[in-house]
Amino acid sequence: MYYDYLDSPIGRMVLVGDGASLVQVGLPDSRRPLAIAAGWRRDAAPLATARLQFEAYFDGGLTAFDLALAPRGSDFQCRVWAALCEIPYGTTISYGELAKRIGNPNASRAVGLANGANPLAIVVPCHRVIGANGSLTGYGGGLPAKEFLLELERRHVAAVPFALS
């Protein structure tokens, strides 16, 4: 495994890859900080594409990541993470709505747990899931980071001019 650090507007992130895919993204101020495992090698080269895409995202020039991903989780978690990737840039949905989208409308709590276990924060946009009443609820990187990411996306969506037909 390879890792490198990325200084971002929300703080220093850790990118982890296996040489072919992005495996984990560690956020600053995380409730469960990403520990660098023995045997991992710090090397920016295998993570260069991910770094460029994160930089473009934070600059407002990228609305969807195009990276090989290799998250590790249960089948249920992977279904939730796939559904997260379908949430459009600059929009939010509730945990209940996400549960409906995966075909299990009574699984809001389980969806929340899977959301919290997302190893690919920002790329798999778990920050776009909010409480049913519109409130910002839990985020592994802290609520200030979640608020920043949502505002970043809203600001760039609002800045895109509409084409006249």
Instruction: Give the residue numbers annotated as catalytic, written as ranges.
Output: 126
In angstroms, the Cα distances linking 5 to 24, 31, 61, 113, 160 are: 12, 18, 21, 26, 30
Q: What is the DSSP string of 6-41?
A: EEETTEEEEEEE-SSSEEEEEPTT-SSPPPPPTT-E
Contact 149, 127 (CB under 8 A): yes
